[in-house]
């Protein structure tokens, strides 16, 4: 069982959460200006990190709020959580 510390509710079982997309992968300001190739890269090309990776997460069975996690993909361990808009915490 993996515990994820929701910034509003505290530690909860991972079954209460919904995994979201990569964090800090900002939507293009004007998608209509992108070529098909650029739009495709935005939609389908993401970092495939082996180690700490910033992700979005939703506490779907709790407060239903979105927040960011830093998860070590090699060990499936949550290293940090923070609310969207707050600075990304330092991780080792
Ligand atoms: Zn919550």
pLDDT in tens, 29-53: 999 999 999 999 999 988 888 999 9
Q: How far is CA 37 from the centre of its chain?
A: 24
Which segments of the chain have a pLDDT < 50?
Answer: none
In this prediction, residue 92 carries a pLDDT of 59
pTM confidence score: 0.80
Pick from 54, 76, 77: nearest CA to 67: 54
In this prediction, residue 89 carries a pLDDT of 76
Contact yes or no for 39/27 (Cβ under 8 A): no
Separation CA 82–CA 92 (nearest Å) = 16
Report the separation in Å between the CA atom of 35 and the middle of ligand 1, taken as the mean of its atom positions.
Answer: 38
**What is the second-level CATH architecture of the domain 1-24+46-92?**
2-Layer Sandwich (3.30)
Report the separation in Å between the CA atom of 68 and the middle of ligand 1, taken as the mean of its atom positions.
Answer: 12
In this prediction, residue 79 carries a pLDDT of 94
* 3-class DSSP assignment, residue 59: coil
Report the separation in Å between the CA atom of 62 and the middle of ligand 1, taken as the mean of its atom positions.
Answer: 5
Q: Taking ligand 1, which is a single-atom ion, which protein residues have CB atoms under 5 Å away?
A: 6, 8-9, 59, 62-63
Q: Where are the domains of the chain?
A: 1-24+46-92
CA distances from 20 to 8, 32, 42, 57, 60 (A): 18, 24, 16, 5, 11
Report the separation in Å between the CA atom of 12 and the middle of ligand 1, taken as the mean of its atom positions.
Answer: 8
């Amino acid at each position: 069982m993996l515990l994820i510390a929701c910034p509003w509710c505290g530690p909860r079982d991972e079954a209460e959460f919904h995994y979201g997309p990569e964090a800090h992968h900002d939507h293009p300001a004007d998608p209509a200006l992108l070529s098909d190739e650029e739009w495709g890269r935005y939609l389908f090309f993401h970092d495939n990190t082996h180690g700490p990776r910033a992700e979005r997460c939703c506490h779907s069975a709790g407060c239903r709020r979105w927040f960011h996690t830093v998860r070590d993909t090699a060990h499936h361990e949550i290293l940090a959580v923070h609310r969207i808009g707050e600075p990304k915490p330092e991780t080792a």
